[in-house]
Every structure is written in C-alpha cells, then in structure tokens.
C-alpha cells in the first residue's frame, strides 16, 4: 500500500481504465466513475486523477482540489490543458504506444472486411497520415502484409523509403488511414487536417479509415468523400459521441471509438501510468506485479490452401462486423451520446494477434510464415 505521509492516496479514475494488479497495489482507495461524469465534486478528496480521452481536464475541473497528478490512459493529451495544469504544479502523464498494436490490427481487419486485403497484400500503396507510435505500428504491419506504406508526418522523422512527398500525396492513395495526434500547434496543426478544400483537390481515396481522432477530418470533408465515391471506416467521429443518421448510413464500417480497446492495450496503458506515478515521487516504487499468460486462438477453421487465408484469420480473430452491428442496432435513427458511451463502457475487450499462439490446420508455407511472423503470432 502506498502512502504520502500518513494518508492513503486517493485515486479517481475513468471506469473504462483497467484496474490492474499494479494499480491496485498503489492504493485501496480507487473510485471509478464514467469519464463524462467526473466533476469537481468528485475531486475534493482526490490525490490522483486518471482519465481517458472523453474527460476534459482543465483548471475549471482541478483548481482548488487536492489533485497532484493527472494521467491519461491514451496516447494523446488533446483533452487535457497541459500548460494550465503545469502552472498549478500538476504533472501530466500519458500512455503513448500502449494501444498501438490494437489499433493497427483494427486497421488491418477493417481493410480485410472492406475486401481490399488482396490488393494490399499484392503491393498496394497505402497512405498513412501520422507516424507516432500507432502510425509506425500500422506501417510495420502493412509492410509485413506486403503493402507499401506512404507516410506523411511533418512532426516525425519518417524513413525516406516510406515518406510521402506531401500530405496530398499520402491522401491520394486508394487506401488511407489517419493516425495523427489532434492539436492546434503551428506550423502544422492537425485539427481538420483533411479539409474539404483538400479533399476537392485530390483523387478521392477508395477507402478512408479514421481510427485516430474525429477532429482530424470535418464532417464537410467526409460528405465530400462520400459524394466522390469513397468508402468510410470510422471509429472516431466529428461530433462524437453523437453520430447523425446520414453519416452512419454512408459509413461502410462504423464502430464506437474502440479501435484501441484490446485487453492487453488497456493493461499496458494502466501500467504505464503506474510507472509514471512511481517516478513522480508521490509514492514509493513498488515491486513489479508479474503476470504470465499465453494467449491461444483456435485457427483450425482457416483453410491455408485458400488465397484469402489471411483475411479469414483477421476476421475470425476479430469479427469487426459484430462491433459495426452493435453500433447500428442502437441507432434511432442516429446514435445518441448515451448509447455511444454505453457501448464503450461495456465493450468486451478483444485479444490481439501479436503474442498469440495459433492452432492451425496444417503447416503454413514459407510465405505464410513470414506474414504470421510479421503479425507477431506463433503457431503449432
């Protein structure tokens, strides 16, 4: 049990944050609340606030409270007024990279569900906007599948063999996936990065995936893409958590901001925050809580002799269409914010292929073994 002085540290956290053994070891006093429902009243006896992307954390929320540390179990911090909290002497920690593989596998599965995986595995050039932890993992998996990532990110060092000449070049590919962080920082702000004006100047992509932030592309640009014949895969939405009827109807695959919602991703995010808390000096370092569990998946139904064997694997391991159906089932005719949040709060966390041992019906070929290794799987 961790203490500051003689007082047990009190933690308030979003109920969608995984309560790992490492977090429980820090304090027995953990109050879980819906992220959108966290208010100043809940923080009057709180030392540590742990949130996800739906909680706006600013001076209005925390000033005058005993909060001494804010952590977000997400890669981005656009929902936190970091400079304002710094003025109050409150450090902020995030969890970059924790959900990178989960999001990357979501993207590959969405491509499979769209019917475009054969083209991708045949060497298709795929536009990747954003080259942080998620964008890098997406590019790595695309390369493993045989695609050619075309990456744009002016804030990151992109390998020359992957770098797009400019944003327009990346967006001109027949498959485009968005993973830039959301911010207004000059000289390259990313809010409304894919503008309606830009969409009108490029050849519309056949498939656009947004599993990054809804604010990267405004509604007008999405409408423009639909009018030009593009298909949309949307996990994040311009007016999230509400989704209007027309946009939902025009979206090929629609999910409620759960691309990063794997069991492992949530655990990793929590443990990153636990590490940041220990380094902050608010509490003594605890010995690591060791967990070991080999994940397995029965893939014997996959016919390795078929050309679409990888599509079968991706869609059987993560049936993304079930998430799409669940979201559409609560539309009446659009999706209300409460329903969107309910789906996220009660989402059955999925596994990741990476680190999973597959049971296959036969011995994969050398080419198949290369793909399986690229996905991070083992097999027997």
51 and 71 in contact (C-beta within 8 Å)?
A: yes
Q: Indicate if 201 belongs to the active site.
A: no
From the candidates 79, 105, 240, 352, give the one annotated as an active-site residue.
Answer: 240
**Residue 277 — φ and ψ, nearest 5°?**
-60, -45
Query: Other C-beta atoms within 10 Å of 300: how many?
Result: 11
**Nearest alpha-carbon partner for 21 in 271, 320, 203, 292:** 271
CA 365, 366, 367, 372 torsion: positive or negative? positive
Query: Other C-beta atoms within 10 Å of 99: how many?
Result: 27
From the candidates 52, 116, 257, 344, give the one annotated as an active-site residue.
Answer: 257
Sheet with 356-359: strands ordered across: 295-298, 356-359, 378-379
Q: Indicate if 213 belongs to the active site.
A: yes
The residues that bridge with 80 in the sheet, in sequence order, are 57
**Nearest alpha-carbon partner for 49 in 40, 2, 347, 24:** 40
231 and 209 in contact (C-beta within 8 Å)?
A: no
Place of tokens 């636990």: 274
**Nearest alpha-carbon partner for 22 in 286, 292, 262:** 286
Q: Which helix (H) or strand (E) holds 127?
A: strand 125-129
From the candidates 68, 116, 179, 213, give the one annotated as an active-site residue.
Answer: 213
Q: Which helix (H) or strand (E) holds 112?
A: helix 100-113
**CB under 8 Å to 145, separation ≥6 — which residues?**
108, 117, 120, 121, 310, 371, 374
Task: State how far the alpha carbon of 329 is from the alpha carbons of 71, 123, 248, 316, in Å.
Answer: 33, 36, 11, 21
Q: Indicate if 352 belongs to the active site.
A: no
Please identify every residue annotated as catalytic.
213, 240, 257
């Amino acid at each position: 049990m961790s203490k500051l002085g003689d007082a047990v540290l009190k933690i308030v956290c979003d109920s969608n944050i995984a309560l790992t053994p490492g977090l429980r070891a820090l304090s027995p006093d953990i109050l879980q609340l819906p992220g959108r429902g966290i208010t100043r009243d809940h923080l009057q006896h709180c030392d540590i606030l742990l949130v996800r992307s739906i909680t706006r954390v600013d001076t209005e929320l925390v000033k005058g409270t005993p909060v001494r540390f804010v952590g977000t179990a997400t890669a981005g911090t656009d929902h936190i007024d970091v400079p304002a909290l710094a003025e109050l002497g409150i450090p902020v920690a995030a969890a970059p990279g924790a959900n990178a593989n989960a999001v990357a596998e979501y993207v590959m599965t969405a491509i499979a569900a769209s019917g475009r995986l054969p083209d991708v595995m045949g060497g298709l050039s795929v536009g990747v906007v954003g080259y942080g932890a998620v964008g890098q993992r997406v590019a790595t998996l695309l390369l493993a599948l045989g695609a050619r990532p075309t990456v744009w990110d002016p804030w990151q060092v992109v390998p020359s063999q992957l770098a797009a000449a400019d944003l327009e070049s990346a967006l001109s590919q027949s498959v485009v996936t968005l993973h830039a962080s959301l911010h207004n920082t000059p000289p390259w702000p990313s809010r409304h990065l894919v503008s309606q004006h830009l969409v009108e100047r490029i050849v519309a992509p056949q498939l656009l995936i947004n599993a990054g932030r809804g604010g990267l592309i405004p509604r007008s640009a999405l409408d423009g893409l639909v009018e030009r014949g593009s298909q949309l895969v949307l996990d994040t939405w311009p007016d999230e958590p509400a989704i209007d009827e027309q946009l939902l109807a025009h979206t090929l695959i629609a999910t409620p901001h759960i691309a990063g919602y794997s069991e492992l991703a949530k655990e990793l995010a929590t443990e990153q925050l636990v590490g940041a808390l220990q380094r902050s000096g608010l509490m003594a370092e605890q010995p690591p809580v060791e967990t070991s569990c080999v994940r397995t998946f029965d893939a014997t139904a996959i016919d390795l002799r078929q050309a679409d064997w990888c599509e079968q694997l991706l869609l059987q391991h993560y049936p993304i269409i079930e998430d799409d159906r669940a979201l559409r089932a609560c539309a009446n005719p659009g999706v209300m914010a409460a329903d969107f949040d309910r789906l996220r709060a009660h989402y059955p966390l999925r596994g990741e292929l990476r680190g999973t041992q597959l049971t296959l019906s036969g011995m994969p070929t050398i080419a198949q073994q290369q793909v399986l290794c690229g996905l991070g799987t083992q097999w027997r």
